[in-house]
């Protein structure tokens, strides 16, 4: 009796599960609504007409903002024998502040814009035009604009000339010709740009194809930079892209590379003063403790201890501590050296302090932490 009961229950369940699919086939049941049908039109696709693009619209393809970096041809198997080759590290986006002015020392400033150079170049060109500056020399591939000699008695729509005249009175620059040069570069962070200004006051015509080392007056340079920064932040120019300025983004200021042995390093394509300040700020932003900063020998000694595991760590630092806990305990501290390649390029190298070895994996993870916090 029990077996018969189980068979009846099983049959009812089967009937319920299959019922939905046969309801439409039963003569005494109305047809299934159209929304429940499963059309098979996709089996017979038809070609649609070509998409028409108006002649006044650009024919540029939409590119991926986060393309997976290629795997570079480096001798990594000797250092990573048991793991597959890895692409270059992808770092986080830039600071959310759209436009800001960074200062290094008493007489050095530049503007940082959180947009790629090819979108900043049209804004600079429009700013030059709106201020009636005129262009003596222009090189979009290198990001250089050298304006014509300024006529400070002309129209001053944005108040730029007034600021220059006030600066000249303060610095007692009554004579000489006035010139402004602008250079656009890629910045430290992904997808951001830097704008540098030079102001010259001299009796001779400058070499308009060469970037001046410094300004005649830093105060006037800073005043011009602030006018340009306010112009960009105000959004006077609609976002556009300059295809001829895209090569500017190819000259990276920060690169993660490998030496001839395949050992990881980070390269800062800036002068020593800025490289030192950038490295120190990256270490501080990473919440790492600096034991010693030796400017003469060009290194920072950083604490490696169990205390690093205390508190809530975020970002790449948390993963670095988790993967390298044993090495952190054994090392106690490490040194991060700045090695000069040229006057405008320096390598950041991770080195040991005691007899404990530093592996390539450890150096790669640590440099990725610094790279994430470079600004």
289 neighbors 302 (Cβ within 8 angstroms): yes
Decide if 367 is inside a domain.
yes
Q: Do 287 and 226 share a structural domain?
A: no
Together in a domain, 262 and 218: no
Give 356's pLDDT tier (boundaries 50, 70, 90).
Answer: confident
Residues 183 and 308 in one domain: no
Number of H helices, E strands in the chain: 8, 12
Distance CA 103, CA 219 (A): 13
Tokens 């595991």 sit on residue: 309
Higher pLDDT, 8 or 54: 54
Q: Domain limits at 109?
A: 99-248
Section 366-374 average pLDDT: 91
Alpha carbon distance 10, 14 (integer Å) = 6
Same domain membership, residue 240 and residue 218: yes
Share of the chain above pLDDT 70, in %: 74
Answer yes or no: is pLDDT of 16 > 60: no
pLDDT at residue number 320: 85
pTM of the model as a whole: 0.71
Residue 370: closest CA among 233, 236, 264, 234: 264
Which residue is associated with the tokens 């988790």?
A: 322
Summarised one tens digit per residue, pLDDT across range 63-119 is 444 545 555 554 444 445 555 555 544 444 434 468 999 999 888 999 999 999 999
Which residue do the tokens 């001299």 mark?
Answer: 202
The structure tokens listed for 124 are 């600079």
Residue 44 lies in a domain: no
Q: For the chain, what is the largest distance between any 2 Cα atoms, rounded to a whole number of angstroms?
A: 117
Same domain, 267 and 150: no
Q: Is the dihedral of CA 282, 284, 285, 289 positive or negative?
A: positive
Write out pLDDT tens, residues 266-320: 999 999 999 999 999 999 998 889 999 999 999 999 998 766 655 556 667 788 8
3-state secondary structure of 278: helix
Same domain, residue pair 117 and 258: no
pLDDT digits (tens, 9 = 90+) for 142-192: 999 999 999 988 777 778 999 999 999 988 888 889 999 999 999 998 889
Please state, in angstroms and as integers, the Cα–Cα distance from residue 140 to each residue in 144, 153, 200, 249, following that order: 6, 29, 21, 11
Domains identified in the chain, total number? 3
Q: What pLDDT, on a 0 to 100 scale, did the predictor assign at position 32?
A: 47
259 with 360, same domain: the answer is yes
Residues 104 and 243 grouped into a single domain: yes
**Which of residues 221, 248, 275 is at a domain's end?**
248
300 three-class SS: strand
Residues 160 and 233 in one domain: yes
User: Can you tell me which residue has the tokens 């302090």?
Assistant: 353
CATH number, position 334: 3.30.310.170
- Interior/surface letters 136-163, b for 16+ CB within 10 angstroms, e for the rest: beeebeebbbbbeebeeeeeeebebbeb
Helix residue spans in the chain (DSSP H):
2-22, 117-130, 160-171, 218-234, 272-285, 315-323, 325-331, 360-372
Residues whose CB falls within 8 Å of the CB of residue 266, separated by 6 or more in sequence, listed in order: 254, 255, 256, 257, 347, 348, 367, 370, 371
187-230: pLDDT as tens digits:
998 889 999 999 999 999 999 999 999 999 999 999 999 999 99
Strand partners, 255: 267
43, pLDDT greater than 70: no
The answer to the question of residue 177 being in a domain is: yes
Domain boundary among 248, 267, 283: 248
Shared domain for 243 and 287, answered yes or no, is no
With respect to residue 300, please indicate whether it lies within any of the assigned structural domains.
Answer: yes
Q: Do 147 and 231 contact (CB within 8 A), yes or no? A: no
Q: Are residues 228 and 170 in the same domain?
A: yes
Distance of CA 231 to the CA centre of its chain: 22
Residue 75 lies in a domain: no
Which are the contacts of 325, defined by CB distance < 8 A and separation ≥ 6?
309
**Cα distance between residue 191 and residue 55, in whole Å:** 30
Residue 70 in domain: no
Quote the tokens at residue 330: 């054994």
84 in a domain, yes or no? no
The length of the chain, given as a count of residues? 375
343 and 295 in one domain?
A: yes
Three-state DSSP at 373 gives: coil
Measured distance CA(264)–CA(43) in Å, rounded:
52
Q: What is the CATH number of the domain that holds 126?
A: 3.30.310.220
Select from 209, 233, 248 the last residue of a domain. 248
338 domain residue, yes or no: yes
């Amino acid at each position: 009796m029990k077996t018969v009961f189980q068979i009846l229950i099983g049959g009812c369940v089967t009937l319920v599960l299959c019922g939905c699919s046969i309801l439409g086939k039963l003569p005494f049941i109305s047809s299934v609504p159209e929304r429940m049908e499963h059309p098979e039109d996709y089996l017979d696709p038809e070609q649609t007409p070509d998409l028409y693009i108006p002649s006044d619209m650009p024919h540029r393809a939409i590119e991926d903002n986060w393309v997976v970096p290629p795997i570079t041809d480096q001798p990594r198997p000797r250092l990573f024998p048991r793991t597959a080759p890895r692409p270059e590290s992808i770092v986080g986006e830039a600071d959310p502040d759209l436009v800001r002015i960074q200062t290094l020392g008493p007489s050095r400033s530049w503007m940082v814009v959180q947009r790629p150079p090819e979108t900043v170049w049209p804004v600079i060109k429009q700013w030059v035009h709106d201020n009636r500056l005129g262009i003596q020399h222009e090189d979009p591939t290198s990001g250089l604009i050298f304006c014509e000699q300024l006529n400070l008695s002309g129209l001053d729509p944005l108040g730029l000339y007034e600021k220059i005249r006030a600066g000249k009175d303060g610095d007692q620059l009554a004579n000489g010709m006035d010139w402004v040069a602008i250079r656009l570069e890629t910045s430290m962070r992904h997808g951001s740009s830097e704008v540098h200004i030079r102001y010259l006051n001299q009796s001779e015509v400058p070499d308009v194809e060469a970037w001046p080392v410094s300004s005649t007056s830093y105060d006037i340079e800073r005043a011009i930079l602030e006018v340009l920064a306010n112009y960009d932040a105000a959004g006077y120019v609609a976002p556009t892209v300059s295809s001829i300025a895209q090569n500017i983004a190819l000259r990276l200021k920060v690169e993660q590379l490998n030496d001839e042995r395949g050992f990881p390093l980070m390269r800062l394509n800036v002068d020593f003063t800025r490289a030192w300040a950038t490295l120190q700020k990256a270490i501080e932003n990473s919440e790492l403790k600096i034991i010693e900063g030796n400017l003469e020998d060009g290194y920072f000694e950083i604490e490696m201890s169990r205390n690093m595991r205390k508190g809530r760590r975020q970002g790449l630092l948390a993963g670095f501590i988790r993967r390298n806990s044993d090495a952190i305990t054994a090392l106690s501290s490490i040194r991060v050296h700045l090695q000069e390649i040229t006057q405008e390029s320096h390598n950041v190298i991770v080195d040991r302090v005691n007899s404990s070895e530093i592996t390539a994996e450890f150096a790669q993870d640590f440099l990725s932490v610094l790279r994430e916090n470079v600004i």
